[in-house]
Structure formats: structure tokens, C-alpha cells
Amino acid sequence: MTVNGILQIAIFCIAIIALVRPLGGYMTRVFNGDKTFLSPVFRPVERVLYAASGVRPEVEQSWRVYGVAMLLFSLAGSVSLYAIFRLQDILPLNPQGFPALPPELALNTAISFVTNTNWQFYSGESTMSYLSQMIGLTVHNFVSAATGIALAMAIIRGFARRSAKTVGNFWVDLTRCVLYILMPVAIVYALFLIWQGVPQTLAAYVDATTLEGAKQTIAVGPVASQEAIKMLGTNGGGFFNGNSAHPFENPTALSNLIQMISIFSMGAALTNVFGRMVGRERQGWALFGVMGLLFLAGTFIVYPVEAGGNPAIAAMGVDQSVGPGQVGGNMEGKEVRFGIANSSLFTVVTTDTSCGAVNNMHDSLMPLAGMIPLINIQLGEIIFGGVGSGLYGMLMFAIIAVFVAGLMVGRTPEYIGKKLEAREVKMSILAILILPLSILGFTAIATVVPQGIATLTNSGPHGFSEILYAYTSATGNNGSAFAGLGPNMFWQVTMAIAMFMGRFLFIVPMLAVAGSLAAKKIVPPSAGTFPTDNGLFVALLIGVILIVGGLTFFPALALGPVVEHLAMQAGSMF
Amino acid sequence: MMQALRMAVLMLAVMTVITGLAYPLAITGVAQLIFPHEATGSLIKKGDAVIGSSLIGQYFSKPEYFHPRPSAANAPSLEAGAPPAIGYDPLDSGATNLAPSSKKLIENVTAAVKSNQPDNPGRPVPGDLVTASASGLDPDITPDAAEFQVPRVALARNMSEDQVRAMVAKCTKGRTLGFLGEPRTNVLALNLMLDEAAGK
């Protein structure tokens, strides 16, 4: 580790903390339907949109109607994406003449982008036409993110309302999120990225003749417009295969800092939206504190481990030490302009959330550093999390934490003035159990069928980690990879199922909690109420997250990264 | 239910027009107007011919050029019986994805050390020169990796080492704003400058 590296991490943290209240305040006003500085521009657009699609914005929905609307919207999105991919060869804006995607890849990719996962079993630069990138992937980068935030609004209203039958209107939440929050930021952000060097053109790829006389075809495209929302919406699906390591997606150290900030900012601000809507910002800060501590813990494991370099290649006369002209450390799968500190930080940021964009290749991380992204996702991506999904995941854990505290003192648990009864606790547990069910279940299947291990790049314990990472990433809707894993029919279909389970089987019980909370009265706090905005609660919640969320996965982690680490220490290679 | 499905389809259609067409097309128009060079890929031209992009690395093997990092972008050597790796193909960006405990990684690094060590027999080879980048298109090497190659390039070009070093310094960028990122030397810019100095 270097002083400069730690300084960069500190500056990132300060930027996030500084954004929480202004962004949180703005988002609160948007979702409450209050006037904002953008209202004069977007209010008319909003009205036209509702009129065109037959939405009556003043009609509120019960949790069931809200959920059905969300599911139908996701269904429509999956079908249209599948159709776009299958018809790509006859649609316009395809200057490279790419063929249609095969059915299993089209299915996997459609589910992947609708569920905000953005796992990619293809290389964008040699697969996707400009039209598919624009009206296919870019659209779902917007709406899958907006869907996540809308759902978070539904559960926040569940806590904030009393004796209410409704949790909001899905169409209104979705529309406002796109128009007032994602779109304005994306416009400014895309222009910033272009200034830094990200291409934005509809022209065909450029043929160059290199200095040594070789032919190099430079892939370009409408990259910046997609890159902006890819980060902002914690989507993470790259325009190119190299994702945010590709110099055309993330050209400079400055673009890299802004990309990391944009991954975290919405998730961090949503804790503040929660605090404001339930009437006490401290409640939001307590959740922010839990997230912040878990984030720092991950960062300060990955960074020193990666800075230490790979002992296996140090033995070969390779200089991995840090100096004024040398970044040092484990540089396999990393870019010189980012070095170790920014690569390590990006790895933690992208897996704390459901983003999954990468600026370095996780498959080549040292074993213990590579374990951190696995743990981050397996905990449910509640450390700032995916836009929306991070907050509602964290609230599920908060319900369990208060329930555990209630059991200890023998009192009916309350959270934010709502009595938590059997239904809410059962539903929260159900949601949380989806992760181990899908991750461990599919991993077990893949390790025993020949198709499951046919496409691995690495063997030994790291090969197992590749499988575990794939289902962890799919179920957690993250999308990052130990990317040595190649596609075949088995992987494309099972991962589509895992992505579907991870998204929708989590959301339905969560919405049920929102509905049942909204219907409850608010209990005024009394002397016996367990306070949920102080250090004790933060510690308890971290404990519950690590024990309930983390312990389930420990045996699997022991078989992968832990064994690999110990074997490397003993000098074994695979 | 049918009414909700109709709303879902219409809402998706409207969102597609706004976020999938209006937004990227407007950004493209504005970008071509205010950042035409960056928006088309930061291309470097000699006359009318494109010789590359300042952001995308190129493969160099001749002794008179500085060499980039190993690249797995379309590196055919990862497949059995294929010709040796060239990499730097922007149509297939990506990394080796080899584990730190991989024997294949050790083979790759051993081969890279073997081909780089003769440049500067007395010194350990800088790590970035023997490890493949994440994108396979890394345009940069570390200043140490450039310094490591100075004697070879100077000899091949009949220049003094200090003349070459001065050019390395010109093509080396420090941290952005003094603290962001890492110092780096752009290989293509450096090789272009060398060629220009030689009157090519």
C-alpha cells in the first residue's frame, strides 16, 4: 500500500459522503412528487408519457398491483430484447454486418439485462450492432435501474405510511426515476466521458495501419451514452468485452474516479431518502454506517493483498516492488493507468453494489483478494448495493436484526415504529434464503455434470471458484465474472434461471413485506423500544449480516479461494 | 390484467424512444459538434491514413521501438497449436483470466521474462512488462518499463541513451491533479516521436 493509494481511497469516500444529503434530498422531492428545478422541463414530458401509455398517475396501487405491473414490464422487456437480438441482422444501424444472436445467447442476454445483472457471454465489439446496443441494452440499463429504485420506494413507503392500503404507483415511480434522476445525470456524465476520450459515433469501425505496418481495426460506436447509464444504474454491462478496463470505456484516472463515485452515489443517497421519508435522517445514517464499515473492511483486504504481488512470479526475477516509476503489485489483468489502488477499490465498489463493471480482471486477483468480491455479492449486495435493490436488501436484514434483538429481550420487535410480526419476518427470511438456494444449488450441479466444467480456463480450486463466482454473480444480479468461464448451452440456460430467481424471487416477498408494513399503525417509541439509529444497532446489524448472510457460504469459500491460497503458500500450482 | 399488460408494452415503447433513440442520438450529435476528435476515437493520422488511436495500444516487436505489455486480446497462443501471441486486437479486447496459481500463467511470465531480460541483463524486469493487461489494449507502460528498454532502443537507433530518455520523459504523464491514477508512458506516442525525430 502507498500513501497516495490511501489518499485516493479517502478522496473517494469523502466524495460519497458529500453526495448523500444533496442527492438524497433531491430524490426525496422527486418521489414525493414535489416541484424541483427540472420540473418546468420534464413535467410536460411526464404528462405526455402518461397519456401515451394510458397511465393514471393519481391512482395508487396495492403491493400486489404494484408487483404485477413490475413483472409485466419486465416480461415485456425480456420479450422485446430477445426479439431485437434475434432480428439484429435485418435491423438497421449494423455497420459491421453482425449476424443475429443464437437463441440461447439471446435468452441469456435478455434476462441478464432485464434483471440488472448484465452478465455477458459475448464480446460486445464482435457481437452487438449499434442498434442492439442502443434500443436494446441502453434502454434496459435505464429501466432496470429505475425498476430497482421504484421497488425501494415501495418498501420505504411501507415504513413511512400508516394504515395504508397502497404503496405508490409503479409507472409513476419508474417514469420519474428515469426523467428526473437518471436521464439528466446521464446526459452530463456522457458528455464528460466523451471529453475524457470515450467515443460516441454511429460510424463504422476504423481501419488503421500500425507503425509496424500491421492492420488494426479499431472498434468504436455510441459508447459514452451507454457507459454513463451503465455505471449510474449499477448495471455494469460493457459496450466492449474489456468493460471498464477498455481504454474506450474508461480512458483516464479521472474518468475512473467518476465511474466509481457514480456506482455508489445512488445507493448511498437512497439511505438518506429512507431516513427523510420515515421522518428521521439518523435512521438512514445508521444504515449508511453499516454499509460504510463493510465497504472499508473489504477495501483494506483487497488492496494490501494485491499490492503484495504474486509470490510465484516474484521468484522469477520480476520486479513487483513499488517505486516512483513503478506501480508494483499483482499487475496480471490490470491496467497501468489505474495501478493497484484504483483497481482494488473498483473491485470492492463494483461488487458491494450490483454493478459488476470491472476495470481489472477478477479471475487474476490473488486468492484472498478474489474472495472479497465473492463475499460482497453473497451477502446480498447490500453494501450500498444495486440502485434500489441495495436498500431493500439491507432493510430485509434490518428486519431480521431487530427480530433477533426482540428475541433476546423478549419483546415484540419494532422497526421505525412498525411492529414486526411473523409475516414480515418469514417473508424477509424467505427472500434472504433465495441466495444460498440458487448459488449453492447450481454450483453443486455444475461441479458434477461434464457440461459444467467443460468451459473453465483454470483448474484446481480456482476452477471451482470460477463456477461459484458465476452463480454468485448471476443470482446476486451483479454481472462481474471470473471471466475465464466460457459459454455453452448448460451455462447460458442455468445462469438465466439463476438471474431470474435472484431478481424476482427476492422482490416478491420484499413487496409483500412492504404491503403488510404499510397497513400497520405507527407505534410511538417508548422506553422499551430498541433504538435503531445508534452504534449498538449498527454492530448488531453487521453481526446479523455476517452470520446469517455470510456463514452459509463459508464451506464453499473454503473449497475455493481459501484452499487456493493455502496451496500457493505451500508452492503448489495448478 | 390485459390493461396492465397494455400499459407495460406502451410504457416500454415510450421509454425505448426516449432512452434508446432520443438520448444516444442527441449525445452523438452534440459530441460530434463539441468533441469531434474524442468522439470518433482519438485517432492519430499521418496525412489521410489512420495509424491508430492514442488510447489504444499497438503491438511492437522491432528493437527500435518501445514494446508494450503482453496482450491477450485475440492472442491465439491461448488455443492449442496456434501461432505465437500478437494481441492488441480491438475486435477482441480482454485478458488471460489466468489464476495467480495457474501453471499457464507461470509459463507466460517465464517466456516474457526471457524475451525482455536481454534488454537490460543486470536488472529485474518490471512487473507490468511481463503481465498481460485487463483490456489487452493497454496503451501505457510504467516509466520503469520504458527506462528498462532505453538501452535497446538507443542502440538500435544510433542515438544516445539520454536523447531517448528525454523523449520518454515527454511521453510520460504524472498522476492527474497530482494524486489520481499512476504515472504512465504512452507507447504509441513515444514510438511516433522517435520516428519523427528520425525523419520518418
Place of cell 517465464: B110
Distance in angstroms between the alpha carbons of the first and the last residue of chain A: 28
Pairing assessment for the beta strands B43-46 and A206-209 based on DSSP bridges: unpaired
C-alpha cell at A101: 444472436
Which amino acid is it at A260?
A: M
Q: Given this model, what pLDDT does residue B84 score?
A: 52
Closest-approach residue (CA) in chain B for A570: B101
- Residues of chain B positioned with their CB less than 8 A from the CB of A198: 38
In this complex, do A462 and B102 lie within 8 Å of one another by their Cβ atoms? yes
| Contact (Cβ atoms closer than 8 angstroms) between residue B182 and residue A327 | yes
Set of cell numbers at residue B87: 494481441
Rounded CA Rg of chain A: 23
Inter-chain CB proximity A224 and B181 less than 8 Å: no
Query: Cα A152 to chain center, whole Å?
Result: 14
pTM: 0.96
Q: Which residues of A touch B137 (CB under 8 A)?
A: 242, 246-247
Other CB atoms closer than 10 Å to residue A554's CB: what's the count?
Answer: 12
A53 contacts in chain B (CB < 8 Å): 7, 10-11, 13-14
Q: State which residue of chain A sits closest to B27, comparing Cα positions.
A: A225
The CA-to-CA distance between both ends of chain B, in Å, stands at 71
Q: What is the pLDDT of residues B48-88, one digit of tens each?
A: 899 999 999 999 999 999 999 999 997 454 444 545 557 89
Q: What is the pLDDT of residues B178-190, one digit of tens each?
A: 899 999 999 999 9
Contact A118, A480 (CB under 8 A): no
| DSSP class per residue in A102-159 | PHHHHHHHHHHHHTT----SS-GGGT--HHIIIIIIIHHHHHHHHHHHHHHHHHHHHH
Name the residue among B106, B177, B191 with its Cβ closest to that of A211.
B191
**B75 inside 8 A of chain A by CB:** no
What cell was used for A196? Answer: 475524457
Distance of CA A36 to the CA centre of its chain: 28
Query: Which residue type is seen at A92?
Result: P
Nearest-CA neighbor of A394 among A519, A469, A294, A512?
A: A294
Distances (CA, A) of A111 to A5, A311, A319, A476: 38, 40, 44, 13
Write the ipTM.
Answer: 0.95
Give B68→chain A minimum CA distance, Å: 11
Select from B15, B56, B124 the Cβ nearest to the Cβ of A218: B56
Residues with Cβ within 8 Å of A153's Cβ and at least 6 positions away in sequence, in order, are A31, A168, A173, A388
Residue A292: which of A267, A275, A273 has the closest Cα? A267
Please report the pLDDT score of residue B77 as a whole number.
43
Q: Chain B residue with minimal CA distance to A323?
A: B144
If we measure between CA atoms, which residue out of A185, A96, A206, A338 comes closest to residue B37?
A206
Mean pLDDT by 10 residues, chain A (574 residues): 94 97 97 94 94 94 96 97 97 95 96 95 94 96 96 94 94 97 97 98 95 93 97 94 97 97 96 95 96 97 96 90 92 97 97 95 97 95 92 94 91 91 93 94 96 91 96 95 91 96 94 95 87 94 91 94 95 91
* CA closest to A313 among chain B residues: B106
Answer for the pair A383, A294: CB distance below 8 angstroms, yes or no.
yes
B109 touches chain A (CB under 8 A): yes
- Look at residue B79 in the predicted model and tell me its pLDDT: 47
**Nearest-by-Cβ selection for B24 from A138, A333, A358:** A138
Please answer yes or no on whether B19 and A327 come within 8 Å at the CB atom.
no
> Count of CB atoms within 10 A of residue A184's CB?
14
Q: Do A178 and B136 touch (CB under 8 A)?
A: no
How many angstroms separate the CA atoms of A71 and A46, rounded?
Answer: 22
Partners of residue A371 on adjacent β-strands: none
Rounded to a whole number, what is the distance in Å from the CA of B118 to chain A's nearest CA?
Answer: 13
Helix or strand (DSSP H, E) at B172: strand B172-173
Give the number of C-alpha atoms closer than 13 A to the C-alpha of residue A270, restricted to the C-beta side: 36
The answer to whether the Cα torsion of A407, A409, A410, A416 is positive or negative is: negative
Which pairs with CB-CB distance under 8 Å and at least 24 residues apart come from A497-501? A497/A442, A498/A438, A498/A439, A498/A442, A498/A471, A498/A474, A499/A111, A499/A112, A499/A115, A499/A117, A499/A119, A499/A474, A499/A475, A500/A111, A500/A115, A501/A434, A501/A437, A501/A438, A501/A475
* CB contact at 8 A, A170 and A66: yes
Q: Does the distance separating the beta carbons of B8 and A76 come in below 8 Å?
A: yes
Calpha distance A223→B65 (Å, rounded) = 31
Q: Does B2 touch chain A (CB under 8 A)?
A: no
Q: At what angle do helices B187-197 and B143-157 cross, to 10 degrees?
A: 20
Please say whether the beta carbons of A338 and A360 come within 8 A: yes
Task: Report the pLDDT value the prediction gives residue A529, as an integer from 0 to 100.
Answer: 86
* Distance (Å) from the alpha carbon of A320 to chain B's nearest alpha carbon: 5
Give phi and psi for A233, each to the nearest 5: -90, 15
**Residue B132 and residue A332: Cβ atoms within 8 Å?**
yes
Q: A571: which DSSP letter? A: T
> Is residue A319 helix, strand or coil?
strand
For residue range B15-38, list pLDDT tens digits in order: 999 999 999 999 999 999 999 999
Looking at the complex, does the CB of residue B166 fall below 8 Å from at least one CB of chain A?
A: no
Q: Is A396 left (phi over 0), alpha (psi -120 to 50) or beta?
A: alpha
Residues of A with CB below 8 A from B147's CB? 325
* Residues of B with Cβ-Cβ distance to A331 under 8 angstroms: 127-128, 131
Provide the shortest C-alpha distance from residue B14 to chain A (in Å).
7
Nearest-neighbour CA in chain B from A44: distance (Å): 14
| Paired sense of beta strands A414-415 and A418-419, if any | antiparallel
Candidates A319, A336, A468: best to mutate against B (most CBs of B within 10 A) is: A336
d(CA A2, CA A326) in angstroms, rounded, equals 12
- Cα–Cα distance, A394 to A376 (Å, whole number): 13
For residue A550, the 8-state DSSP code is: I
CB contact under 8 A, A317 and B12: no
Report d(CA A272, CA A290) in Å as an integer: 13
DSSP one-letter string for A178-247: IIIIIHHHHHHHHHHHHHHT--B--SPPEEEE-TTS-EEEE---BHHHHHHHHHHTT----SSTTGGGST
A-contacting residues in B 133-152 (Cβ below 8 Å):
133-145, 147
What Cα–Cα distance (Å) separates residue A116 from each residue in A515, B14, B15?
A: 24, 20, 16
Give the residue from B2, B3, B7, B48 with the most A CB atoms within 10 Å of its CB, the best one to mutate: B7
pLDDT at residue A450, as a whole number: 94
Buried b (16+ CB within 10 A) or exposed e, A210-244: bbeeeebebbbbbbbbbbbbbbbbbbbbbbbbbbb
Residue of chain A whose alpha carbon sits nearest to that of B110: A316
Helix H or strand E encompassing B9: helix B2-15
Residue B85: the pLDDT is 53
For residue A200, list its beta bridge partners. Answer: A222
- 3-state SS class at A441: helix
